[in-house]
Structure 1
Amino acid sequence: MVSPIGRVGAALRNSKVIRAIARDFDARWYLTQYPDVAETGMKPLVHYVRYGAREGRNPRPDFDGMSYLEINPDVRDAGLNPFYHWVRFGRAEGRVISHDPGDGGSSSGEMPVLKFSGLFTPLDCIAASQLRRLDLTRLPDTLMGRGFPYGIAPGPVSFPLVLFCDGTGDVPADRIQQALALTTGTVHVLSPSAGRRRGKGRDRLRYWNRTADAALADLKAVLKGLDGEFVGLWEVAFSPAISAWHFLGAALRHDPVLAHAGASLVRGDGRLWRSGFRVRAGQEGLVALGRDAHFLDPFQFRLKPSAMLDPGFGLARVEALRDAAARVRGKDGPRMTEAIVRLAAPLAGSGRPVFAVQGCALVLSDDEPSEPPEPAKADDGRLPNNPGPADAVIFVDSVPPMPDQDAGSVTASNFIDIFLERGAEVVFYSTARRMWDNPYALALAARGVVCLTDPVVRNYAQACEHIAAAGYDRLSFLLTRIYAGGEFVERTRARFPQARLVFNTVDLHGLRELREARIAGSTARAFAAQTTFARERDIIQRCDATILLSEAEMNELSPTLGHANLHLIPMVNEFSPPRAGYSQRRGLMFIGGFAHHPNIDAVEYILDELWAPIRARDPEMVLKIVGPHFPARLRDRLPEGVEALGFVPDLGAALEQVRLSLAPLRYGAGIKGKIGTSLSHGVPCVATSLAAEGMGLQAGRDILVADTPEAFAEAVLSLHGDEMLWTRMSRAGYDFCEARYSRRAVAAKLNALLDEVSA
């Protein structure tokens, strides 16, 4: 039995722990992760301190208490709450906070991959966790588009780091510990009082004396003592995430001509943008945006020309820095950042460009620099390597593009590449899938897209504030779909009155819903469809331009909205000339994602009306149904010869096996991606007139069209059994799509629209 004195002592200890960890404890996540806690009626923080830690429960998603105790046996032996120890002591000491046995353990003979702590903010922890679990280099090529996916890796980097304190202060001991955790290389410490650190890692430390008014001379001395190809420059007022060093290293390894890659970007008006900071030429100090106004996504990175070395954080080639330092003459001074930026002019003049890596997760510490330097200027007073004004396209859609899942995402992915090739910043906001670790969002980030995801940005209002804080020179919003981007047209116009708004319909939802209502014979659905159609028309009139996919949609709207700025820009198809000939193929294919109801209706139509007459004429005929989210109720009634394959990673390879595709849609709107996908792989298609509408295809030449079950079955059998007809239509359909729906053709139309609205 516990004595009253013991209970009082335990209560006092618990109260001390609660006060210490309250700011870092995630109560909402704790209740979601452990729903039984709510049944106790206790506050989640109190439950964790009294019971949860002993039961192996975790205080937040990025902290593993059991691993912390296993990795840090002194904490375990002391009987301390693991999270309390990390908050009070372990964070500053750079203690490892978790490991993942699945990434390599004692059984494999490899060391486990560790997630480091240091003085990381939550964004740093997320970045380290992401690197530990995900490898962007393993994402399918179909997700990466034409952007360059830099390779990144978990764990510490290998190049040396140079730590310095701008001005005359000492380098804090906790920064030294953090640097030792972030690299396996040597840590060079520039400090006025060159003390010596005892303990683990001291063999990788080298101290350099800082003189009062000779920062450039001190920097040159350090450069002479460096070994290796790269060196990281780190002003200790900043706390970079481990992912930042990997991004910078990948950039320099990929392009040997680069001399330096940093986290800053100098724009045409002299503003120096850094993640969390901005400065304007002529001002004395940085304007802090703060952690909560963190604009750049912590996993997004993109190389852009920069006018200067980043004075606070960057990675450089040692040889290039030495060459630049040898040519720098003139007055020296006490500030190390000034010494670094003085290297920019000779480096820029050497023909080895300086680049900035945006979004490399540079996170501010509590110690913010008070008097950072102005951006370096060339002798004529102008910024070298001027990147010009900053244009941005804000892409708002329900979900990130999933080009391996549906044809609409292929178009969206290509749109993004076209925007990037214009030199624009592309910012993506998803209204439905907002998790930072969504693989499709990560794929966008790897291509250079700023993804405004949770937890950095919680809602559209916060997204707008981040976009406004970025200070883009010109803004264009691509508001996609009535139920996604279309929801924000009024809010966007009010917040950004000078921005250009483009409504990307994808298809006219009201028209599709109206056709579905007619087939169902539902008056209520018809009324709802008219409401949707009215809202779409309203959005069109509120926007500066509207993208329609098909000629049929253009004809539908022109009589009443002829005054609106309507642009016909069709879907983009990825083209692959057919390799297999007629005799090497057999059977039919239906392509479609089954979250889209017209595709479910089309398959039901095949099963109810089409398959029996086709199979009666050709008992060996087979049909493959390809696409995600196939309903179980349809799978249970598939007849002989029909197979539902579900999601197929390589649709091109699957199309190489069949002779033709089917598109027996009975309602819908816009351009049908299934038809474009089939023809762009040289596979002829049989479709209903509604499915083929608005695409410009000529029936009998590019496609076969039939609307009754008998005529449709006859068209399928004649095309499947006639090699000459099949060969002619395969070539005709492919050539037609390449001329109209290729990326090159669509890029010309999309760029013309953006030029028009931006003028």
Structure 2
Amino acid sequence: MSMSWADLRFMLERTRGLFRRGLASLRTRGLSATWARVRRQFAQHPRLPPGALYRPAEAAFAPFTVPSSDAPRVSIVIPVYNQALHTLGCLRALAEHPPAAACEVIVVDDGSQDETRAWMQAIGGLRYHLRATNGGFIAACNDGAALAQGTYLVFLNNDTFPQPGWLDALLDTFGAWPEAGLVGAQLVYPDGRLQEAGGVVFDDGSAWNYGRFESPDDPCYTSVRDADYCSGAAIMLPTALFREIGGFDTRYAPAYYEDTDLAFAVRARGYRVLYQPASRVVHLEGITAGTDTGSGAKAYQVRNRGVFAQKWADALTRQAAAGTLPSPAVLARGRRQVLIVDSETPRPRHDSASLRMANLMRMLVGEGAHVVFLPADLRHAGTDTAALRQHGVETWHAPFVGSVASWLREHGPRFDVVMLSRHYVAAEFLPLVRRFAPQARIVFDTVDLHFLRETRGADVAGDETLRRSAQKTRERELALMRQADTTLVVSPAERDMLSALLPTAQVDVLSNLHELADDGAPFAQRHDIVFVGGFRHPPNVDAVLWFGRDIFPDIRTGLPGVRFHCIGAEPPAEVLALQEQPGIVVHGHVPDIAPYMEGARVAVAPLRFGAGVKGKVNLSMAHGQPVVATPCAVEGMHLVDGHDVLVAESADAFVGAVVRLYEDAPLWERLSVNGRENIRRHFSLDAAREVVRRVFLD
């Protein structure tokens, strides 16, 4: 992104205030915090790569059109005073990348003397309001809010370049977080450094732009989280709430601290103030008022801090002490802090263990915990990493984790609970956690008992080498259970087995976690048979091969034309080869599994070995899709043959059960209803809440 002469002039102007600001910081924050700010400003942090930030091309003015609507959902209010070129750039950004949400754009002119009036009146779709007299930023914002017709109100500075998708990300936050009252964007400098990831307010009323000068992609700043305030350069809140509060408080006129005051007023009414990193806005900062707090309009920032501190004296007693260096631990103070480590980032659309893990983290966040996730492979998992962050999970990855040991040395002291998932992950991490987080309760999450699954696989294969390997796995898993404070298993059957093997171990059942889906199509409108399961899991490969070779041909004889849909990531060659048989379709991974859950008549789980609770069975039942399964597939799931599932062990019995269920509408309806009830009682988030609270939050 090239720097214009206006940008260069702004940077030169900024240097005038650095000395005064440094002295002011020493007086209010102390030497340690001031030095930290200096180091952050001049340190070399990873910036956004060239071209990552959008900026409209500079060109002579020519009329254009901004987004508009007769029934806007969002009203964007842009207060302006001179600086017509910056206003033009902001509006061009809105025009070139219009939001998906219906919106209106309102420019409130606070008495500009430059080209602002002539240009604004020539822009199509724009609502232009010229104030009779210059009243300052607060007056202009309040006038714009009075004109707003949208359900939601956005205040946007004119010295900004909103990035594509910024508005919809803010709006979506209110749907994902019903308790949200105000949401602020991530602000970045034109050079790609972070300007603000929400603000921090200290007990003396002073404030801190969290993350200033660091990388916008640093995991400290990439998750939705509570903020003390968000800069008014780009914030959204319900229009009715803003009017209920009475708008920006005019005691801060002409400007400064009005956005901080607004955030405290929103929170005082029982709502949350959230920072949304998916909404990114380039902010030039200080174009109109400068950055020198010793002169000009910026001087009101110093005065208004005292006004704010007096108004919110009671609330400020709960803030961090002045001079505290903000960090993830400081921001999450007073909340249970939980670290979760798994082999890789959960992929909920790929496997049931991932769905369980993702839903567990969502539950913990919903219960008020601050959740941190560290994948053992340290990889950024694209949309899956982004999804966790949108759920409020602080999610780490390379290059921001140099080594696990150094990361735990820095962050370990903040955790109350550390959960290590899978025995091979726990074996690597447990000694480090004991060393660097000795205060933490260690939870070993087995996911399923690996040694049990391996032993059963060895029995099916008749392989003595596999049996010896399973014995070694058993020794490792049991050793980890002795070292952990709590062990989690997914079924009562596994808990009962461990109570005999390790009577002194603390073992709790935290099973698969599912949300009930819609019922889907009725019996008469459903067709075909479906299997769901990832093929990195050996029991799934064996199950599909057995079903495809030994069971499905006889089913198709009894049900001519029926098809078998095989869904799951990374099918091996022998599974793909099943498609040579009539009626078998191997889809591999599908991005949306709902059509198969809601449209297929019968699901099958022909597992001959395995352990734990089978997510494929849970998934179908959560959608009201009846299941035919082997005894192994329904182990520990509180299911009764003929009531909420059909159980068959041999190939012939499996054929008979599938054909019967496929043709018997009353039986299908009974299993559909009872299967959903089984999910609600045993595998829903509410069913797991008591265990989650006891293990992680007590």
Q: TM-score range by the shorter chain?
A: 0.5 to 0.7
Deviation of the 1:607 alpha carbon: 3.6
Name which of structure 1's ranges 579-588 and 732-741 shifts more when overlaid on structure 2: 579-588
Q: Determine which of 407, 416, 424 is the counterpart of 2:369.
A: 424
Following the alignment from structure 1 to structure 2, what is the Cα–Cα distance between the partners of residues 254 and 727?
33
Deviation of the 1:429 alpha carbon: 3.3
Q: Secondary structure at the match of 1:396?
A: strand
Following the alignment from structure 1 to structure 2, what is the Cα–Cα distance between the partners of residues 728 and 221?
64
User: Are residues 1:410 and 2:339 paired?
Assistant: no
Who is 2:47 aligned against?
122
User: Are residues 1:501 and 2:442 paired?
Assistant: yes
Q: Determine which of 204, 224, 246 is the counterpart of 1:301.
A: 224
Following the alignment from structure 2 to structure 1, what is the Cα–Cα distance between the partners of residues 535 and 665?
32
TM-score, normalisation: structure 1: 0.61
Structure 1 residues 671-700: Cα deviation after superposition (integer angstroms, max 9, x where no partner): 112222233344443333222222232334
Deviation of the 1:506 alpha carbon: 1.7
Q: Determine which of 442, 466, 479 is the counterpart of 2:420.
A: 479
Q: 1:392 to 1:633 in 2, by over 3 A?
A: same
Q: 1:251 to 1:696 in 2, by over 3 A?
A: closer
Structure 1 residues 722-757: Cα deviation after superposition (integer angstroms, max 9, x where no partner): 555555444444433332223321234323432xxx
Deviation of the 1:569 alpha carbon: 1.8
Kindly report the root-mean-square deviation, in angstroms, between the aligned alpha carbons of the 2 structures. 5.4
Q: 1:519 to 1:315 in 2, by over 3 A?
A: closer
Following the alignment from structure 1 to structure 2, what is the Cα–Cα distance between the partners of residues 599 and 224?
61
Who is 1:381 aligned against?
313
Q: 1:262 to 1:651 in 2, by over 3 A?
A: closer
Structure 1 residues 337-378: Cα deviation after superposition (integer angstroms, max 9, x where no partner): 4565466677777x5967232545689999998998779446
Who is 1:391 aligned against?
336
Correspondence 1:200-349 to 2 at 5 A = 218-220=136-138, 222-223=140-141, 229=148, 232=155, 247-248=169-170, 260-262=182-184, 275=197, 280-282=202-204, 286=208, 291-292=213-214, 296=219, 300-302=223-225, 304=226, 310=231, 314=235, 320=242, 328-329=250-251, 337-338=256-257, 341=260
Following the alignment from structure 2 to structure 1, what is the Cα–Cα distance between the partners of residues 196 and 526?
56
Q: 1:609 to 1:175 in 2, by over 3 A?
A: same
Q: Contact between 1:587 and 1:623, CA under 8 Å: does it hold in 2? A: yes
Who is 1:708 aligned against?
650
User: Are residues 1:739 and 2:690 paired?
Assistant: no
Q: Secondary structure at the match of 1:749?
A: helix
Q: Once the two structures are aligned, what percentage of the paired residues are identical?
A: 26
Q: Contact between 1:311 and 1:338, CA under 8 Å: does it hold in 2? A: no
Who is 2:429 aligned against?
488
Following the alignment from structure 1 to structure 2, what is the Cα–Cα distance between the partners of residues 424 and 566?
22
Q: Determine which of 343, 357, 360 is the counterpart of 2:275.
A: 357
Q: Determine which of 516, 523, 527 is the counterpart of 2:457.
A: 516
Q: Determine which of 622, 627, 637 is the counterpart of 1:695.
A: 637
Deviation of the 1:467 alpha carbon: 5.3
Structure 1 residues 430-465: Cα deviation after superposition (integer angstroms, max 9, x where no partner): 3448336x2233333334333334555566457657
Structure 1 residues 634-686: Cα deviation after superposition (integer angstroms, max 9, x where no partner): 32244233332334455454345554333221221101122222333444433
Deviation of the 1:599 alpha carbon: 0.7
Following the alignment from structure 1 to structure 2, what is the Cα–Cα distance between the partners of residues 239 and 501?
46
Q: 1:122 to 1:159 in 2, by over 3 A?
A: farther
Who is 2:588 aligned against?
646
Who is 1:597 aligned against?
538
Q: 1:687 to 1:734 in 2, by over 3 A?
A: same
Structure 1 residues 100-159: Cα deviation after superposition (integer angstroms, max 9, x where no partner): xxxxxxxxxxxxxxxxxxxx97348687479xxxxxxxxxxxxxxxxxxxxxxxxxx994
Following the alignment from structure 1 to structure 2, what is the Cα–Cα distance between the partners of residues 383 and 732?
51
User: Are residues 1:749 and 2:694 paired?
Assistant: no
What one-letter code is carried by the residue in structure 2 that aligns with 1:573? H
Correspondence 1:33-48 to 2 at 5 A = none
Q: 1:347 to 1:537 in 2, by over 3 A?
A: closer
Q: Secondary structure at the match of 2:545?
A: helix
Following the alignment from structure 2 to structure 1, what is the Cα–Cα distance between the partners of residues 621 and 275?
40
Structure 1 residues 601-625: Cα deviation after superposition (integer angstroms, max 9, x where no partner): 1122224433455556666664332
Structure 1 residues 247-275: Cα deviation after superposition (integer angstroms, max 9, x where no partner): 456668999998754469xxxxxxxx963
Who is 2:569 aligned against?
628
Following the alignment from structure 1 to structure 2, what is the Cα–Cα distance between the partners of residues 404 and 413?
10
Structure 1 residues 696-737: Cα deviation after superposition (integer angstroms, max 9, x where no partner): 323344434343334444444454455555554444444333
User: Are residues 1:670 and 2:612 paired?
Assistant: yes
Q: Contact between 2:267 and 2:273, CA under 8 Å: does it hold in 1? A: no
Structure 1 residues 541-588: Cα deviation after superposition (integer angstroms, max 9, x where no partner): 333322211122212222232322211122123434756565555553
Q: Secondary structure at the match of 1:677?
A: helix
Q: Determine which of 547, 554, 564 is the counterpart of 1:606.
A: 547
Q: Contact between 2:90 and 2:162, CA under 8 Å: does it hold in 1? A: no
Name which of structure 1's ranges 679-688 and 595-604 shifts more when overlaid on structure 2: 679-688
What one-letter code is carried by the residue in structure 1 that aligns with 2:608? R
Between the two proteins, the alignment pairs up a number of residues equal to 587
Q: Determine which of 385, 388, 395 is the counterpart of 1:451.
A: 395
Q: Secondary structure at the match of 1:383?
A: helix
Give unpaired runs (5+ residues) of structure 2: 10-44, 56-73, 96-104, 187-194, 294-300, 320-332
Name which of structure 1's ranges 172-181 and 500-509 shifts more when overlaid on structure 2: 172-181
TM-score, normalisation: structure 2: 0.66
